Every structure is written in C-alpha cells, then in structure tokens.
Amino acid sequence: MSDKPLITHTYTADPSAHVFDGKVYIYPSHDRETDQPTNDNGDQYDMVDYHVFSLDEIGGDVTDHGVALDMKDIPWVSKQLWAPDAATKNGKYYLYFPARAADGIFRIGVAVGDRPEGPFTAEPQPMKGSFSIDPATFVDDDDEAYMYFGGIWGGQLQNWQGETYDPNGKEPEGDAPALLPVVSKLTEDMKEFAEKPREIQIVDEDGELLKASDHDRRFFEAAWMHKHEGKYYFSYSTGDTHYLCYAIGDNPYGPFTYGGRILEPVLGWTTHHSILEFKGKWYLFHHDCEISNGVNHLRNVKVKEIFYDEDGKILPVK
C-alpha cells in the first residue's frame, strides 16, 4: 500500500474515518497557515472550518465535499475548531467538535446533517457538561452510543480534576496515577450526555493504573474506540512521546489493559488517528507532516492496513 498523503490540495489532520453508505468518510481537522505562535498550548492550531472527504476504495480517488461546517455559523465558538468526529443514528448524521468558547475554555459541540458529507447545522450551545477536546463516538452493536474524549496541555484535561475548571490545574507527576480520559453514554437523540462523564481506567498487566511518569504508555489525547471479535479496543496518543497505543477491555467503559504500540513517531509533533474495518480489512488513518516538510501545524492524512495476531493483539505498523 502506498504511504503517500491521501489529500494534498489542502492541509488535513486528526482523521476520524467511518464507513457510511458503503463508502469511507473522513472527518479531519483543517489545518491552515497562521501567524499564531507555536507553543505547548497549541495556539498554532488555529482552524476555522471542517471539510468532509470520501473514497469508494482504499487507494482510490478522494472526493473533497467542501466546507461542511464553518466557525462563523456556530454561535458559542470563539476560536480553534480542533479534532472532530462523526456518527450516524436514527437516519441522521452527527458531527462532534471541540472549540474554545468566549471564556477560552474548550467545550464540545454537535452539529446535525442529513447526509454523511453534510452540510451540518450546529446546535446553538455546547453539550451540557462537556469539556476538553478530541471527541470520539462509538455506536455499539446494541445501538447504544458513547463519546470518549480528553486531552492534556492545550486540551485542558489537567484543569478538570475536580467538578469545575481550575486554571492552575497541573498534570500529575512521578508515581501518581496518570490523568485519565473520560467516557459518557449519549442520549437517544445523540445531542447530550446521558450520564455524568466517567474516567476510563488504563491499567498495566498487573491491573495497576499507568503512572504519570510512564510517558511511553500513558494517555495524552486522541481517544478512539473500535471493536474486534467481541473485544473493545481503546486507542490513543501518548502525546509528548509521539506513540499511538492501544488497550483492550470487555465493555465500553473499561477498564482497559495496555496492549502495545500501533505506530511509532511520525514526522511532525502530533499524532492522531482512527481505526476501521472496510471490505474485510482493517485500516489505520493517521497524519504526519510530509507535505509541509515537518511544520507541525500543517499536516496531511495517510492510511495504512493493520493486522491482528491470533491473540487479538494489533501488530505494530512497519
């Protein structure tokens, strides 16, 4: 399989890929050139809209369906439309997105459309009780839908270790348990949380929570959920060590036992992905910075086939 960027006429990142109506649809962030400073807060990721892309075959032509949602059409958003995701249920399509509200705090919004490619119409307010970034939706075999989310540093997860936003919140250190992502079941109309979001435990082979100092394995951002042969696979980015990792559980809430790495560091600072099955094969969608020669906020989407061993472990991508 070619390792060339799927999309080269514009910058794309954080690809959430799904199979809808027999096609693969990709819901990425839309990077753009900006004069915002590059820092750990992520000010350089100054996106203002979303495009949706589709392809009939992996390796085939990619269609850009144009702007599906623009920041100017979302009443509560002040800036930074970061990594989105999409889902379908009840004959509708839902686009979920994080963005900063007027107070500078990230919330998660939802927009609704009649077709996978949009256009999408945003709800006038963010989802009640939402916070942080990187929403990833998963509709299980029983038709129950869940959202997984969270990201530290610029994603502000460290500011939500209590019931309210703490601007002085810090990431734990040393042998303290690492910060954990969160999950909530969604309401039947897919627009709100059906319960208070709860932490997702990621544990080692002894059942112990991963430590804050375990930067090679602990969660940082980029939650994703998929199901393979009855098991639930929670995958994520380790952030500052640049690995894509996964953990396996028996239900959508976890706990999830660390399973290994999927992808080694790529060109560029961030890594963010999705995993899907299409026509009997499994694929990893991710990004790097090939077309910008390493500029970390000007990225491009790629796809690779992945494989499982007889024990259900994901084999590392070569």
The catalytic site residues sit at 14, 221
Written as six digits, the tokens of 45 are: 């990721």
Helices marked H in 17-157: none
Which residue, among 264, 263, 240, 76, has the nearest Cα to 153 in the 3D structure?
Answer: 240
Q: Please name the residue that has the structure tokens 């990230």.
A: 106
CB 113 within 8 A of CB 93: yes
| Sheet of strand 300-306, all strands in order from the earlier edge strand to the far edge | 274-278, 281-288, 300-306
The helix (H) or strand (E) run that includes residue 301 is strand 300-306
| Sheet of strand 221-228, all strands in order from the earlier edge strand to the far edge | 202-203, 256-263, 244-249, 231-237, 221-228
CB atoms within 10 A of CB 110: 24
What is the C-alpha separation between 172 and 256, in angstroms, rounded? Answer: 20
> Distance of alpha carbon 47 from its chain centroid, rounded?
15
Neighbouring residues of 167: CB distance < 8 A, sequence distance ≥ 6:
159
Q: Where are the beta strands (DSSP E) in 238-278?
A: 244-249, 256-263, 274-278
Written as six digits, the tokens of 226 are: 């998929």
